[in-house]
Chain A
Amino acid sequence: MITSMTTTTTNSTTAKLLSYPLNAWYPAAWDHEITGKGILSRTIAGRPLALYRTQDGHPVALADACWHRLAPLSQGKLVGRDEIQCPYHGLRYNAAGRCTSMPAQETLNPSATVASYPVSERFRYVWVWLGDPTLADPALLPDMHQLESDEWAGDGETIQAPCNYQLVLDNLMDLTHEEFVHSSSIGQEELSESEFEVTHDENTVTVTRWMRNIDAPPFWLKNMRDKFPGFEGKVDRWQIIHYTFPSTICIDVGVAEAGTGAPEGDRSRGVNGYVMNTIAPETDRSCHYFWAFMRNYRLESQLITTQLRNGVHGVFGEDEAMLQAQQAAIDANPDHEFYNLNIDMGGMWVRRLLERALESEGRSVAAPAAAPAASSKG
């Protein structure tokens, strides 16, 4: 076990179940999942939400429990311009969460409201802010511009990951696992052999790794040939992992013909992708893991978009199986601690930023380690 070396953080263990900050934007859903026709029920950061759109198309996130007897509003229906009607005794609420109708009386109880959380729609996601609403500044959204840029094409999916969200962040901040978990697609031994560099500021952590003059693994050879038909030979491969608080990791990945200057900045003889990952904690032991794979070549090809999405789907399925097994082993071994390796440097900086945010919110760093919650579905 490592002992923290700074004076601002005193914890000497690496939390196995990390709590989640609340003063943060979390992705609640893909834009297309939230509609004006039905109500999506989803728990984000421990808060059950009823998600829908007004007739003007604005997304709304209400607490999914009626003021009256807490019946789930997500089982109700949408009425009028922006209202939702409780399925039980018919109270109606508008997008601000204010009751607009109490069927059995002529007036409205002034305290009848449900929480309406700040939302923001960007980068193909609807984001929600569950903490202090006065701090909900859209300028704090992580940069995921590739998802809505003309210069990039691609698509993605959601994984309901049955593990604490930090295990996903750990997974993405250290890609040496590719050699072992993804050996048939993107793994190769140079990953764990090559040097990497870590930098951070208050809000971001970056891990950079270059592997020069290596054979392209199958996934990358295929991508090279999509852009440069018939490509053969060695490549320079890069993985530049950009983390942004609280839970977004965009990984700049690619390969270029070896020795053509990619490490120095000339990527013209290569192919470049961005693995866009953003994670919303659901409970202490589950999260919504939204990902997409974007590329900046052959933008016209829907075939390549579908092939890449399916390929990454397979790769991330391998991660999901590992994360599930890891969470189960953590729960089955409650008196064992995490130990850290040098490969965890990036993940440890992520933890540090999250711990500081939790401390400044006056919340404890470790989620209660007690009995595992029943597995959840999102």
Chain B
Amino acid sequence: MITSRDDVWQSAEVTAVDDVADRIRRIVLQPERPEPTRPGEHIDVLATVNGEQQVRSYSVVEAPDNGGHLVITVFRTPDSRGGSEFMHSLEQGQVLRVTKPLQNFPLRVGAPSYVLLAGGIGITAIAGMAALLRRLGADYRLVYVARSRAAMAYLDDLAALHGHRFEAHIDDEGGSLDVPALVAGVPAHTELYMCGPIRLMDAVRRTWADRGLDRTNLRYETFGNSGWFDAEPFVVRIPRLGVEAAVGSGESMLEALEREGVDMMSDCRKGECGLCQVKVLGLAGRIDHRDVFYSDRQKASDSTMCCCVSRAVAAAPPTSSGKRPAVLTIEVP
């Protein structure tokens, strides 16, 4: 949800930037109005994208001096022409508009045990939870997965801080996480908090449901930009309005339709609320459902989709070189 309150915006000065992993930069901000933070909070930032102000969200990794400084960590998305590029261009002394810390992913204290699961840049939302649980002497496991070691921010620090409670699974070192084994080993009233790519979170969600564990004990936050397939350009048509838009790989279908002047409704822009749903009338290709709004059953029917995150991909076998972009025909509310 994008906040409707003006009083949450403030300015913040960049006091330090440094690279902490491949394409990942740590940015320290000094907000105008410091306040204490809690794990799971993020700030919204006004990023300048193509000369326009756009909102992006970044988890507060830590907030030293009682919130006097806010540390965020930003992954430069490979085909971003947008927010993360802007964030990586920031230099010490620059001032930007940010919100106060906002909470959509609260950690409940007092659970008998915890599993914290971070995939890639999702560690930004999880690291603070782990630090707090450690301080409280809670029973927790911190599981950090990624494709390669070089792309893992804070790996050594976390390993040192959390000792035997920490484990890393790194794909290209042959250590991929066995999700069913992870979930199978979870004691009954454990709370699992996760943030990472949609594929990882979906696998956990399914095995969690298969084991019949309480679904309210599975907590997650989506960053709203990962899918089952790599993003690729596709075409979307709305016959009733005579609209045809080319959706680039670095933008969402929602953004492309807005750019074409279609009056679209949306709220969360990360696949949670369902307000951006569109009806699918025709499809040449496949739909990459990246939302958490629809159930598996609804996704399988391919009759609607959340256009803020979900995309179309060409159906041709991935090896074919000259494959044609997917074409989606939709109706909008």
Contact = CB atoms under 8 A, between A and B. Distances in A.
B216 A94 contact: yes
Contact of B292 (A98, A110, A118): A110
A106 B108 contact: no
Contacts of B136: 134
A134 B138 CA distance: 11
A362 B272 contact: no
Nearest to A96: B108
B222 A106 contact: no
B196 to A, nearest CB: 13
Contact of B295 (A98, A106, A118, A136): A106
Contacts of B292: 107, 110
B219 A134 contact: no
Contacts of B297: 106
Interface in A20-59: none
A110 B108 contact: no
A25 to B, nearest CB: 15
B216 A106 contact: no
Contacts of A118: 109-110
Contact of B222 (A100, A107, A110, A362): A110
Contacts of B293: 105, 107, 109
A111 B36 contact: no
Interface in B80-117: 104-106, 108-110
Nearest to A133: B109
B295 A110 contact: no
B166 interface: no
Contact of B216 (A96, A115, A362): A96
B215 interface: yes
B68 to A, nearest CB: 11
A105 B299 CA distance: 13
A108 interface: yes
B272 A134 contact: no
B274 A105 contact: yes
Interface residues of A, number: 21
Contacts of A94: 216
A134 B66 contact: no
B295 A107 contact: yes
Tell me what chain A mostly uses at the interface: helix, strand, loop, or mixed: loop
A243 B188 CA distance: 43
B161 interface: no
A113 interface: yes
B108 A134 contact: no
A109 B273 contact: yes
A109 B291 CA distance: 11
A118 B216 CA distance: 18
B298 interface: yes
Contacts of A136: 109
Contacts of B105: 110-111
B216 A111 contact: no
Nearest to B201: A110
B272 A106 contact: no
Interface in B260-294: 272-274, 292-294
Contacts of B274: 105
B243 interface: no
A110 B272 contact: yes
Interface string A75-108: 0000000000000000000101011100001111
Contacts of B106: 113, 115
Contacts of B1: 111
B220 interface: yes
B44 interface: no
A115 B273 CA distance: 20
B255 to A, nearest CB: 22
B220 A106 contact: no
Contacts of A133: 109-110
A362 B65 CA distance: 12
A98 B106 CA distance: 10
Interface string A122-166: 000000000011101000000000000000000000000000000
A134 B39 CA distance: 11
A116 B36 CA distance: 19
B294 A98 contact: no
A106 B205 CA distance: 14
Given A96-B108, A110-B220, A362 B36 contact: yes
Contacts of A107: 292-295
Contacts of B298: 106
A291 B26 CA distance: 54
Contacts of A362: 35-36, 66
A110 B294 contact: no
Interface in B16-59: 35-36, 38
Contacts of A100: 215-216
Contacts of B251: none
A39 B109 CA distance: 24
B272 A111 contact: yes
Given A118-B110, A362-B36, A106 B215 contact: no
25 contacts: A94-B216, A96-B108, A98-B216, A99-B216, A105-B293, A106-B294, A106-B295, A106-B297, A107-B292, A107-B293, A107-B295, A108-B216, A110-B219, A110-B222, A110-B292, A111-B105, A113-B106, A132-B36, A133-B109, A133-B110, A134-B132, A134-B136, A136-B109, A362-B36, A362-B66
Query: Which 9 A-B pairs rank lowest in CB-CB distance, beginning with the nearest?
Result: A106-B295, A111-B104, A98-B216, A133-B109, A109-B272, A110-B220, A134-B109, A107-B295, A100-B216
Interface of B: 1, 35-36, 38, 66, 104-106, 108-110, 132, 135-136, 215-216, 219-222, 272-274, 292-295, 297-298
Given A107-B293, A110-B220, A134-B136, 16 more contacts: A94-B216, A106-B294, A106-B297, A107-B292, A107-B294, A108-B215, A109-B293, A110-B219, A110-B221, A110-B292, A113-B106, A116-B108, A118-B110, A133-B109, A362-B35, A362-B36
